[in-house]
Amino acid sequence: MEARIDVEVTAPVFETELEERVATAIQRLFPGADPTARHGELAATVHSLEHLSELLHRQEILDTARGVFLGNRRGDGFSFRLKKQAALQGVVNFVTDEPGELGAITVRVRVEGADPEAYIDHVAPPTEGGEPVTV
């Protein structure tokens, strides 16, 4: 897919947490991220969701991911939130209600040069009978 992807990842760091653990949680889902501290949170920018897509396929949660991505689509992008504790284990777990006591990793994706929905199809393709199908 020929598109430019800007992914902004942020996560609060509470007094009860170690900054290094929050950074590790971000990096487990977004390899190549280099989180920097700013105003009580860590922030990083990456330009790919390929690793996240691999995890979605491996965990067999493509339909869930599609629903979250499409439900949070705005303009030239989409956003979603992930549970920090699961991310620390390298597991994708979407926040759909309250983020819990540790807060959430917030991800904002901006797509240039392609339709955001086409990029969502690339990251989390539709499925039939649990198997990904090409659009």
Q: What is the pLDDT along the chain (135 residues), one digit of tens a residue?
A: 578 999 999 999 998 899 999 999 999 999 999 999 998 999 999 999 999 999 999 999 999 999 999 999 999 999 999 999 999 999 999 998 775 667 799 999 999 998 999 999 999 999 887 788 875
- Quote the CA–CA distance of 26 and 13 in Å, as a whole number: 12
Residue 112 inside a domain? The answer is yes
- Copy the structure tokens of residue 25: 């949680």
Residue 26 inside a domain? The answer is yes
CA quadruple 123, 19, 72, 48: dihedral sign: negative
DSSP for 64-96 reads: HHHHHHHHTEETTEEEEEEEHHHHHTT---B--
Residue 121 inside a domain? The answer is yes
Total of domains in the chain? 1
Its domain, for residue 72, covers 4-95+103-128
Question: With contact defined as beta carbons under 8 Å apart, do 120 and 69 qualify?
Answer: yes
Residue 90 inside a domain? The answer is yes
Residue 133 inside a domain? The answer is no
CA-wise closest residue to 102 among 43, 40, 22:
22
Give 16: exposed, middle or buried? Use CB within 10 Å, 0-12, 13-18, 19+: exposed
Residue 135 inside a domain? The answer is no
- Copy the structure tokens of residue 48: 């790919």
Residue 23: HSE in the Cβ half-sphere, 13 Å Cα cutoff: 11
What is the value of pTM for the model shown?
0.93
CATH number for the domain spanning 38: value is 3.30.1440.10
Residue 134 inside a domain? The answer is no
- Copy the structure tokens of residue 81: 């939130």
Residue 66 inside a domain? The answer is yes
